[in-house]
Structure 1
Amino acid sequence: NQAFVASNEADSGTLETKEVCRLFKEAGKKEANVYVIMGELSNQAAVQRTKDIDDVIATPECSFIKIIDKQTSNWNRDEAQNLMTNWLSTGKPFDGVIANNDESAIGAIQAMKAGNIDMKAVVVGGVDATQDALAAMQAGDLDVTVFQDAAGQGAGALDAALKLSKGEKVEHKVYVPFQLVTPANIDKFLKKN
């Protein structure tokens, strides 16, 4: 008997994109053009998170969002910065960037700042809720990230193992939920020094 303890990867890109959609609506956008920065194309999480973005945009509530282009940065900040710099050089108007991870979102932010883009006018989303990402959010540059509860996963795994050792029933899949992180709730996620 065994249990699989993880986060449901589909939640991460879904939470991220739904919040980006909500922010566009709040800003009164009838149309929003976004760039999508993907993780490593061979990586299951990257594939899933990109599919989540497509799935959310396919819903009637968020169908006003159009993807101008999507490219991979291989989860890498420098590659994302170069990618965003190239996109900026096209001069196409855009409203946001949805990245598969925070490092890529931060790279895009660095490129936008270097290109004098008004960060208040664009919506940027990432996934991971890294300390750098939280700092970027506090600075007003990153609008959305998603926290994957590694400690919760560990606790869930331990809990499942203990139950199994006592012969108790365990759900075969124990999902530790992803949590949306925004400026409104960031305080819950900042490391208390």
Structure 2
Amino acid sequence: MKKLSLLPLAAALMTGPALAEELDIGVSFFNLNERFIIGLRESLEQSAEAQGMDVNVEDARNDIGRQLSQVQNFIASGVDGIIVNPVHSDSTSAMSRAAAEAGIPLVYVNRQPVDIDSLPDNQAFVGSDERESGTLQTQEVCRQLDSEGKLLVMMGTLGDNAAEVRTQDIHDVIATPKCSGLEIVEQQDADFQRIEGNNLMTNWLTSGLEFDAVIANNDEMAIGAIQALKNVGYDMDEVIVAGIDATSDALAAMQAGELDITVFQNGPGQGEGAVDTLQRLIEGEDVDNAVWVPFELVTPDNLDEDVGRN
């Protein structure tokens, strides 16, 4: 079994020398309408161009069947390598098997495959360890609430690995002695979407729930919650809102005094790391089956360091 490796931030942002021959690369993203994924695509394409790769990008539109078909089409067209941002972790086994049988290197990016340790030798995952994301987020909520308060939790897409781990992180933190004064009063999914976060927050407000903080699995849902709170004239100084990803919209909301906490997920580092890893697989190098790009906590105290990074 290949070991796991940690990709330092500086290394994640490095690109190797361009290849002598232009390579044909197929890339499938789970949903190109999602703000973080748009930035991930931009960094991936820029890095691929610098490496001398011709990239064919497809949008799976959150459809497992469509993404599998895209990967099969990449294989049939004889691409040199494939990068996949999975719709769902459970769908990755079929894609891994198809690429392995065709002898085509495959890299998963941002969203983890179902079992990293069992990936074939010519496949790898590049992304961030979700056990850090929700943990950093919730520990900061605990600190800002002085270890006591009522929480509303917005989950991402049900069954999605990131949503599951980030939500479990919240539960794990409030189970610690230091944060045991925190209580989850309601927890529901909002599909990682801003409009769904707005709708869910509106429903919670209508039901009269009492709360001190809203913890969302990503920034889009957190922004949706903020919009709903502002629509009813809620005093944003009276509630803590936390997200994950540190998107440009989230950082703007933090600058406006509306978002209190986010966690920087290094989209540029993941995109460039995926291209670099795929190139090394194509060249026959031995690559670790997981390359980790660290998460970083973002609050108003260090906001200036993160503006413009995603």
TM superposition score normalised by structure 2: 0.56
1:146 and 2:263 matched? yes
Structure 1 match to 2:140: 19
Structure 2 residue runs without a partner (length 5+): 1-120
CA deviation profile, 1:146-182 (whole Å, cap 9, x unmatched): 1111221234345545666485x65442211011111
Letter in 2 for 1:181: V
Instruction: Tell me the number of residue pairs that the alignment of Structure 1 and Structure 2 aligns.
Output: 187
Q: Which residue, 58, 83, 95 being the options, matches 2:175?
A: 58
1:1-193 correspondence to structure 2 within 5 Å: 1-2=121-122, 3-25=124-146, 31-160=148-277, 165=283, 167=285, 170-191=287-308
Larger mean CA deviation between 117-126 and 171-180 belongs to 171-180
Among all aligned residue pairs of Structure 1 and Structure 2, give the percentage whose two residues are the same amino acid: 55
- Per-residue deviation, residues 118-164 of structure 1 (Å, max 9, x unmatched): 11111110011111111110011101111111221234345545666
**How big is the shift at 1:7?**
0.8
* Pair 85,162 (structure 1): closer, same or farther in 2 beyond 3 Å: closer
Q: Deviations over 1:52-76 (max 9, x none)?
A: 1111111111111100101111111
Rounded to whole Å, the distance in 1 between the matches of 2:160 and 2:125 is: 19
| 2:214 partner amino acid | V
| Mapped partners of 2:158, 2:278: distance in 1 | 33
Q: TM-score under structure 1 normalisation?
A: 0.88
Report runs of 4+ in structure 1 exceeding 4 Å deviation: 158-167
- Letter of the structure 1 residue corresponding to residue 129 of structure 2: N
Q: What displacement does 1:90 show?
A: 2.4
